[in-house]
Amino acid sequence: MRPLLIASDHAGFELKEKLKRALQERGVAFDDLGTHSPDSVDYPDYARQVARAISQGEAERGVLVCGSGQGMAMTANRYHGVRAALPWSEETARLSREHNDANVLALGGRVLPADAAEKILQVWLDTPFQGGRHAGRVKKIDGE
């Protein structure tokens, strides 16, 4: 399996670093595409890197972190084959995987406590797509 991709802007940098430690503790391979400091950057630049790689089949999953998670999700969802979810709880993370086959997790570093974000990440990583009746719905997302 290819490594998970992770990226953030300056507002998500601190949470991204905590999530990287959680991934390491779980033995999840990942590539950090930046940013690598809390200096101000533009979130679309980082969301594009992850979304483009997933859209082109170079990666299967990604995690994006900005202040609210919204900007990252909006940018990522513009790419064919990318289904970025912005869960606010473990339940919404589970459903994003089971029902929507979310392949990008967007989180808000300014709105989500780190412990909650780590639990959401864990559920998102551990939950498989259910397929079945949901598979046809997911295909419709990309107009198939």
Catalytic residue numbers?
Answer: 66, 99
- Rounded to the nearest 5°, which phi and psi values hold at 65? -135, 125
CA 132 to CA 120: how far, in whole Å?
24
Q: Residue 14: in which H helix or E strand, if any?
A: helix 13-26
State how far the Cα of 24 lies from the Cα of 7, in Å rounded to an integer.
15
In sequence order, the β-bridge partners of residue 64 are 7, 106
* Strand-strand pairing, 4-8 and 30-32: parallel
Q: Hey, what's the torsion of the CAs at 89, 29, 141, 73, to 10 degrees?
A: 60
